[in-house]
Amino acid sequence: MSNHQPITHSARNPMRVGVLGFGGLGQAAARVLAPKREMRWVAAADQKGYVYSTEGLDPDRCIEVYRDRGSLGDLEPGGTHSTQSIEDLIRRGSQGVDGYFLALPNLPNTFMASVAKAFIESGWRGVLVDALKRTSAVEQLLELQDDLNNAGITYMTGCGATPGLLTAAAAVAAQSYAEIHSVKITFGVGIANWEAYRATIREDIAHLPGYDVERARAMTDAEVEALLDETDGLLKLEGMEHADDIMLELAGICDRDRVTVGGVVDTRNPKKPLSTNVRVTGRTFEGKISTHTFTLGDETSMAANVCGPAFGYLKAGINLHRRGIHGLFTAAEVMPQFVR
């Protein structure tokens, strides 16, 4: 097959995918995958167990068991309890999974890089996609570039909403300009209750003045609730350490100090407190200064804007992998491919 021929996936020959982490995003990922013909969801893991089925997993059943029993390890048949569920699942499903979406908390800030190392050491070959947020976390993966390449792993990083969808939109918008002056990402997130996305909220708290990742990680649920009580459930974030900056710099679009990210998270209302948007300002070849704005629809949830792109990048990564292209890629340098 020539390198330029698209590889066709179908219900008879679907991409077999796994989801690591089965909290807010992991469960949404299972629902996003359910109607897809090109992908079959065959594996999942949480902190206490994992499940693997070549026939495919039922999202309703998995979500029910996780909610009522606390782990996919309790799923019958197929569930297995484990305190090292990721390593065990990699071994068990080694030949049967083409790629994984890592819907895992990055707590501590080195966790995702340690998961990447576990995959490298396991001998598994395939595609990994994350929705990492922090610049320093993506920097750790950059150091693993050669190891990923040598291991035959195609790793797509920063492939959620921001970084992810909005970073990619900025990379496209930048093409009108001869010089990029600023990329300004402003997000609005509305969720009905913070417990549905504990890691996301803890990682956001880590950006507040006076907090860091370790402090936010060590907070009890009661302490998180007390903090949210003080702010009426709102988290107002500015000047965040977000990997959109390093991703746009690596893509050659602008220096990282021209990229800013901030937003508002309402943890008590699914309605977005503001419309998520990215504004890309630059100078055209004629010398005109202008701004492109890309705004997400207010009805789209955080889960839709993270999981959709994550699987779009997983499909793109699987096509790269099948062409023998391995190593580390970001959402700003590869186009996501729509999963049917």
Q: Which residues are catalytic?
A: 133, 203, 207
CA distance 209 to 320: 41
Interface characters, 150-189, with ligand NAD (x: CB under 6 A): ----------xxxxx-------------------------
Contact pick of 15, 19, 25, 247 for ligand NAD (by CB under 6 A): 25
If binding means CB under 6 A, how many residues of this protein chain bind ligand NAD? 30
210 CB-contact burial (10 Å; exposed 0-12 / middle 13-18 / buried 19+): exposed
Q: Which stretch binds ligand NAD (CB under 6 A): 7-15, 196-204, 252-260, 279-287?
A: 196-204
Ranges within 200-229 binding ligand NAD (CB under 6 A): 200, 203
Helix (H) or strand (E) holding 261: strand 259-266
Residue 24 touching ligand NAD (CB under 6 A): yes
Return the beta strands (E) in 94-238 as ranges: 99-102, 126-130, 153-157, 179-190, 234-237
Place of tokens 């990210």: 261
Whose tokens are 């600023």? That residue is: 182
Q: Which stretch binds ligand NAD (CB under 6 A): 57-65, 73-81, 176-184, 192-200?
A: 192-200
Pair of tokens at residue 151: 């291991």
Q: Which is nearer to ligand NAD, 87 or 249 (CB)?
A: 87
Do the bridges between strand 99-102 and strand 327-330 make them parallel or antiparallel, or are there none, so unpaired? unpaired
Q: Looking at 39, 127, 131, 250, which residue binds ligand NAD (CB under 6 A)?
A: 131
98 binds ligand NAD (CB under 6 A): no
| CB neighbourhood size of 287 (10 A) | 7
Q: Which residue among 32, 33, 90, 199 contacts ligand NAD (CB under 6 A)?
A: 199
Asked if 136 touches ligand NAD (CB under 6 A), the answer is no
> Which of 103, 153, 280, 296 is in the footprint of ligand NAD by CB under 6 A?
103
Q: Is 105 in the site for ligand NAD (CB under 6 A)?
A: yes
Tell me the closest approach of the beta carbon of residue 103 to ligand NAD, in angstroms.
Answer: 5
Residues 238-297 that bind ligand NAD (CB under 6 A): none
Q: Which residue, 51 or 282, has its beta carbon nearer to ligand NAD?
A: 51
| C-alpha distance from residue 276 to each of 72, 100, 193, 257 (Å) | 33, 27, 19, 21
Of the pair 22, 177, the CB lying nearest ligand NAD is at 22
Terminal-residue alpha carbon distance, the chain: 22
- Annotate each residue in 36-65 with x if it binds ligand NAD (CB under 6 A) or - if it does not, as one string: ---------xxx------------------
9 vs 166, beta carbon nearer ligand NAD: 166
What residues have CB less than 8 Å from 201, skipping those under 6 apart? 194, 224, 235, 265, 267
- Whole-number Cα distances in Å, 293 to 63, 164, 178: 37, 16, 17
Should residue 26 be labelled a site residue for ligand NAD when binding is judged by CB under 6 A?
Answer: yes
Which amino acid would we find at residue 128? L
